[in-house]
Each structure stands twice: as structure tokens, then as C-alpha cells.
Amino acid sequence: MKLFRLFAIVVAASLASACAMHPVKQSVSVGSPTCASSNECAEAREAAVWNANVWSLAGRIAVSNGRDGGSGRIEWSEDDEFFSVVFSAPITRQSWRLSMDETGATLTGLKGGPRTGNDPTALVREATGWEIPIDAMTAWVRGVPASEATPAATQYDALGRLSHLEEDGWVIDYGWPDAPTTNPVMPSRIEAVRGTAKVRLVVDAWTLGAGAP
């Protein structure tokens, strides 16, 4: 059974909770930039995000491929080039973990034992049959384009925060906290769609800097 189908079965009971929005808790050690225009704010925010290369988030994720779907908890932490992503279903206490360090990528929690490889995107593809751009998502979840090349489309709000992004065939839309108290403010909601594939992430807490796990 493919990992996605197994994951959908064990976490389907928590699908309804993934739709509820809660205030996002954020803590950050990055200073607040000043800016005079939306474009200047966008440039300042993206520079601050890329400088904050130690971060973590905790939230809820819902996934669908047009036929099957499921939801669960997600914990994502990154320290420069190293990262760990844990998907879990609290009710069943089942989970799988994707990690990347200097030795390569490792996917654990699967029947048959851990799987390893040099490319985390390829590793997930081979294990699940799903094309999930892991490297790009490390940028997308933080509300910045993944590539230095110009994306197909971008839209920013009056505060210079990314509201819509089209990149690598994916369409990503963002939601932001109503009353942010930290800078750079991080997204509270991310929805990515490509064809029938859909990923929805609701972030409950962000941590940037030394306080990240």
C-alpha cells in the first residue's frame, strides 16, 4: 500500500479539525525592518526570512489527490541545510518522518524499515508515488518564492506579504495572522494546488532563531 493511502486511512478521523483556524503563536529574534512601500516591505521581509535559517513550525496538514485524502499533525524544523518533517495522526499514534543531514535524506515510519537517498523529493516520490517538491516547500511554507528565477506569477498585499504565488506548476495561496506582533511575520495558512493534488497547511506556532528545536 502506498504511503499516502496508508496515511490517509490512519488520519482521516482528524480531517475536520484541520479546517479550524486558531491564532498563530510566533516567536522570533529577527529585528523589524522599516520600509516605505509594498515592494520595499516585500524585499525587506524576504531578506529577513532568508537570514532566519533556523526555524520550526507546528500545525495541521490536509492532503488530497482528487480521490483520497487525509489530515494530521505536522512538525517541521530546519537548521540551514538540515531539516526534519514529522507527519503524525494523534488518534492512532502513527507517524512518519523525513529528515535531511550531511549524510543524505532518510524516510522512517514505513513498513519495511527506513529508506535513504540523496534527494528527499525523489525519496518521497519513490516511497509514495507522489511528486512533492520538498526543497521548494522549505521556502513556500515561509512565504517566499523558492527560486532566484522569476516565478510565473506573484501577488503581494499592502504590507509586502506574499498572497499568491505560481511556481514550478504549483499555485500557492497564503493567509496571514490578523494581528501579527513579530517580524518577519510568518504565514498562518498555506494552500498549494497542482492539478488534482492539493495540500493545505494551517500553522499553529512558528519559532525562528535560537528558540527553534
Percent of the chain with pLDDT over 90: 45
The pLDDT score that the predictor gives to residue 161 is 94
The radius of gyration of the chain from alpha carbons, rounded to an integer in Å, stands at 17
Considering the chain, what is the average pLDDT of its residues? 80
Asked whether residue 111 carries a pLDDT value surpassing 90, the answer given is: no
Q: What is the reported pTM?
A: 0.79
Question: Rounded to whole angstroms, how far apart are CA atoms 11 and 144?
Answer: 29
pLDDT in tens, 63-77: 777 776 667 899 999
Q: Which three cell numbers stand for residue 56?
A: 520550526
Question: Rounded to whole angstroms, how far apart are CA atoms 68 and 76?
Answer: 23
Question: Rounded to whole angstroms, how far apart are CA atoms 85 and 138?
Answer: 10
Phi, psi (degrees; rounded to nearest 5) at 111: -65, 130
- Residues 162/171, Cβ–Cβ less than 8 Å: no
Q: Which CATH superfamily is domain 3-211 in?
A: Lipoprotein localisation LolA/LolB/LppX (2.50.20.10)
Asked whether residue 9 carries a pLDDT value surpassing 70, the answer given is: no
Percent of the chain with pLDDT over 70: 76
104: left (phi over 0), alpha (psi -120 to 50) or beta: left
Q: Which three cell numbers stand for residue 209?
A: 532563531
For 13-17, 79-83, 176-180, 194-198, which range has the lowest pLDDT when averaged over its residues? 13-17
Q: In the block, which residue shows the cell 528558540?
A: 211
Domain ranges of the chain: 3-211
Give Cα 109 to chain centroid, integer Å: 20
The pLDDT score that the predictor gives to residue 21 is 43
* Candidate ranges 54-63, 127-136, 178-187; pick with highest mean pLDDT: 54-63
The pLDDT score that the predictor gives to residue 18 is 42
